[in-house]
A = this chain, B = another copy of it.
Amino acid sequence: MLPAFSKWPREKKIQWILKDLPQANHIKKKIQECLHPQEHIQKNMEGLSENVLTNFILPYSVAPHFLINQKIYHVPLVTEESSVVAALAKAAKFWYTRGGFRTSVLSTQKEGQIHFRWYGDIQKLYDHWQWIKIKMLEATQSITEDMKKRGGGIQTIQLKEKKNIASFYYQIHVTFDTCDAMGANFINTCLEAMAKACQIYVTAQWPCIAFEIIMSILSNHAPHCMVISRVSCAIKDLGYIHGIAPPIFAEKFALATHIAHHDIYRAATHNKGILNGIDALALATGNDCRAIETAVHVYAAAEGCYQGLTKVSLEEDVFTVQLKLPLMIGVVGGMTRLHPLVETSLRLLQKPNAIDLMQIMAAVGLASHFSALTALITTGIQQGHMRMHLHNLLSCYKLTLAQREKAMVYFQNQVVSTQAVKDYIRKNVS
């Protein structure tokens, strides 16, 4: 084992990790190539995590001209999937001339839980609940001071009986408004202080009855932190999409959405198509993609069976697609001030607050979904996707610029697949 590996200087760590590997020098070169040339930026990156060897780069893109609530945004995106940015740019363009995206925030409440066991009569806790709450709030005073100034803080504190889950088990369910922060650290710090205060009160009051905190932590299930985005136009104004007449396209889009509502295999991929866009914007703005994915998927499962998150209406000859989902995100805290590009992303978006960003993100999710489903029900997903991926496939061969261009021209009218590219190269490039 390695004593204090995390304290070693970067170069020593790299040396040690590579010591028994074949081609260690080659790997070392690759690692060093990705260090940032500016020492202070590199230092910042190393501060973000532990045992940092170098930087991992992903393409930072932009989807221009998103019309959201009558305002134009150029949306920064970080994704490795070649077709996501193209899909977003396409959807933005399509809806730009059809009223754009309409969004609204329904709620911004975040939630956390203190899980505990108490071996006494629960009525005792209910009788003292007002006092316990006061003690818990007092314990968070210094933590919440700043958040309160900004209009946020702890909203409600509720005692819940959960004996159906385990004997003597209860929860304190707390709701929060964390303003422009995602709020995970704030919530967890509050909950831990509250748990301690509760424990002190209860054990002082009933020293002979066991009271035990199990854990105190925010929940990534966020069904009260919801946003809606919507696109809508007269069915006839959809125009012909890849040769498909507007009413037929609209009906097929609605059917595909209906299927995702009832079939778990399809629902999974339907929702992934929404998250492809959302995660790209979340990364660019320094938000936690795991938290976002969790909240969205858990919400999709919250009614008892996992469902697609969009709805389509065709009433009165108007085509409307609506996406409703939880988004627990922030524009301050976390990486915001430390990362060299997160602040840039927020500037590109004209310095949104958390409520603005929730809406932009919901629009982006709907856009990425709209393009994906449109491709699926018309040309098939592979035509566009593989055309984007063609560049990657060709990059695996050492081609001259002329050879590459010739290949690009050839595949304009051909099905692109890994195999097809391989065959083409074998036949045409010696």
Contact = CB atoms under 8 A, between A and B. Distances in A.
Given A220-B272, A293-B290, A256 B301 contact: no
Contact of A185 (B37, B115, B386): B386
Interface stretch (A119-127, A201-209, A375-383): A375-383
A44 B146 CA distance: 45
Contacts of A335: 80, 392
Interface residues of A, number: 153
A382 B216 CA distance: 10
Contact of A291 (B113, B272, B380): B272
A338 B395 contact: yes
A255 interface: yes
B47 A395 contact: yes
A417 to B, nearest CB: 5
Contact of A380 (B5, B38, B216): B216
Interface in A263-317: 263-269, 271-272, 275-276, 279, 283-284, 286, 288-291, 293-295, 297-298, 300-302, 304-306
A402 interface: no
B80 A60 contact: no
B27 A145 contact: no
B59 A49 contact: yes
* Residue of A49, A86, A221, A263 ringed by the most chain B CB atoms within 10 A: A49
16 contacts: A6-B89, A17-B348, A45-B57, A45-B59, A48-B59, A51-B89, A169-B259, A216-B376, A217-B376, A218-B269, A220-B272, A271-B294, A297-B301, A300-B301, A337-B395, A337-B396
Given A30-B340, A52-B60, A142-B419, 14 more contacts: A13-B62, A31-B60, A34-B36, A50-B89, A55-B60, A146-B422, A185-B382, A185-B389, A189-B417, A215-B373, A220-B272, A268-B294, A297-B298, A301-B306
